[in-house]
Structure 1
Amino acid sequence: MSQENRPIQEEEGAMQRMGASLANWAEKWFPDAYVFAAIAVLVVVIAALAMGRTPAQVSVDFGKSFWNLIPFTMQMAFVVIGGYIVAVSPPVRKIIMWLAQFPKTPKVAVAYVAFVAMIASLLSWGFSLIFAGILMREVSKRVAGVDYRAMGAAGYLGLGSIWALGLSSSAALLMATKGSIPPALLKISGVIALADTLFTWQNLVMIVVLLILSVWICYASTPTADKAKTVEMAGITYKEENEDIGTPQTPGEKLEFSPVLTLVIVALGLVYLYDVFSTKGGLAALDLNTYNFMFLIAGMLLHWTPRSFLRAAAKSVPMTGGVLLQFPLYAGIFGVLMGSGLNEVLAHFFVSISTKETLPLVGGIYSAILGLFLPSGGGKWVVEAPYLLQAANELHVNLAWMVQVYNAAEALPNFINPFWMLPLMGLTGVKARDLAGYSTLQLIFHTPVVLLLLWALGLTLPYVPPVLG
Structure 2
Amino acid sequence: MLKTLSRPAVKLVERYLPDPYIFVLLLTVIAAAAAIAVERQTPLAVMRFWGDGFWNLLTFSMQMLLILVTGYMLASSPPVKRLLQRLAGLAKNAGAAIVLVTLVSLAASWINWGFGLVVGALFAKELARQVRVDYRLLVASAYSGFIVWHGGLAGSVPLTIATDGHFSVEQIGVIGTGETIFSLFNLGIVICLFIAVPLVNRLMLPDEQESVYVDPALLEESKKDRVRIQRPADRLENSVTLAWLVGIPGLLFLADHFLLRNGGLNLNVVNFLFLFLAIVLHRTPRSLLESLQEAIKGGAGIVIQFPFYAGIMAIMVQSGLAETLSGALISFASETTLPFWSFISAGIVNIFVPSGGGQWAVQAPVMLPAAEALGVDVPRIAMAVAWGDAWTNLLQPFWALPVLGIAGLKAKDIMGFCLIQLFVTGAIIAAGLTWF
Aligning the two structures, in what range does the TM-score lie when normalised by the shorter sequence?
0.7 to 0.9
CA distance change for structure 1 residues 455 and 368 in 2, over 3 Å: closer, same or farther?
same
| 2:187 alignment partner, one of 190, 199, 204 | 204
Q: Which runs of 5+ in 2 are unaligned?
A: none
Which residue is 2:196 aligned to?
213
Which residue is 1:84 aligned to?
72
CA distance change for structure 1 residues 264 and 413 in 2, over 3 Å: closer, same or farther?
same
Residues 86-235 of structure 1 correspond to what in structure 2 (within 5 A)? Answer: 86-148=74-136, 150-159=137-146, 161-180=147-166, 182-186=168-172, 190-230=173-213
| 2:352 alignment partner, one of 357, 373, 381 | 373
Which residue is 1:451 aligned to?
430
- Tell me if structure 1 keeps the 8 A contact 2:309–2:362: no
- Tell me if structure 1 keeps the 8 A contact 2:121–2:403: yes
**Equivalent AA in structure 1 for residue 121 of structure 2:** G
| 1:314 equivalenced with 2:293 (yes/no) | yes
Deviation at 1:382, TM superposition (A): 4.8
SS in 2 for 1:247: coil
Q: TM-score, normalization: structure 2?
A: 0.86
Residues 190-339 of structure 1 correspond to what in structure 2 (within 5 A)? Answer: 190-230=173-213, 237-243=218-224, 245-277=226-258, 281-282=262-263, 284=264, 286-338=265-317
SS in 1 for 2:275: helix
- Tell me if structure 2 keeps the 8 A contact 1:49–1:58: yes
Deviation at 1:379, TM superposition (A): 4.4
Deviation at 1:197, TM superposition (A): 2.3
- Tell me if structure 1 keeps the 8 A contact 2:394–2:422: yes
Q: TM-score, normalization: structure 1?
A: 0.81
* Cα shift readout 1:14-47 (whole Å, capped 9, x = no counterpart): 2455345544554455434444544544554554
SS in 1 for 2:398: helix
Aligned mates of 2:389, 2:209 — CA distance in 1 = 37
- Tell me if structure 1 keeps the 8 A contact 2:20–2:352: no
CA distance change for structure 1 residues 181 and 272 in 2, over 3 Å: closer, same or farther?
farther
Which residue is 2:385 aligned to?
406
Deviation at 1:203, TM superposition (A): 1.9
Deviation at 1:104, TM superposition (A): 4.4
Aligned mates of 1:426, 1:330 — CA distance in 2 = 26
| Runs ≥4 residues deviating over 6 A | none
**Equivalent AA in structure 1 for residue 289 of structure 2:** L
Aligned mates of 1:53, 1:115 — CA distance in 2 = 50
Aligned mates of 2:278, 2:70 — CA distance in 1 = 7
Aligned mates of 2:165, 2:262 — CA distance in 1 = 13
Aligned mates of 1:196, 1:151 — CA distance in 2 = 35
Aligned mates of 2:91, 2:239 — CA distance in 1 = 38
Aligned mates of 1:250, 1:407 — CA distance in 2 = 50
SS in 1 for 2:386: helix
State the superposition RMSD in angstroms.
Answer: 3.2
Aligned mates of 1:119, 1:322 — CA distance in 2 = 25
Aligned length: 435
Aligned mates of 1:101, 1:225 — CA distance in 2 = 21
- Tell me if structure 2 keeps the 8 A contact 1:118–1:128: yes
Deviation at 1:280, TM superposition (A): 6.0
**Equivalent AA in structure 2 for residue 317 of structure 1:** I
Aligned mates of 2:79, 2:248 — CA distance in 1 = 20
Larger mean Cα displacement after TM superposition, 162-171 or 38-47: 38-47
Q: Which runs of 5+ in 1 are unaligned?
A: 1-13, 458-469
Residues 58-73 of structure 1 correspond to what in structure 2 (within 5 A)? Answer: 60-73=48-61
Which residue is 2:421 aligned to?
442
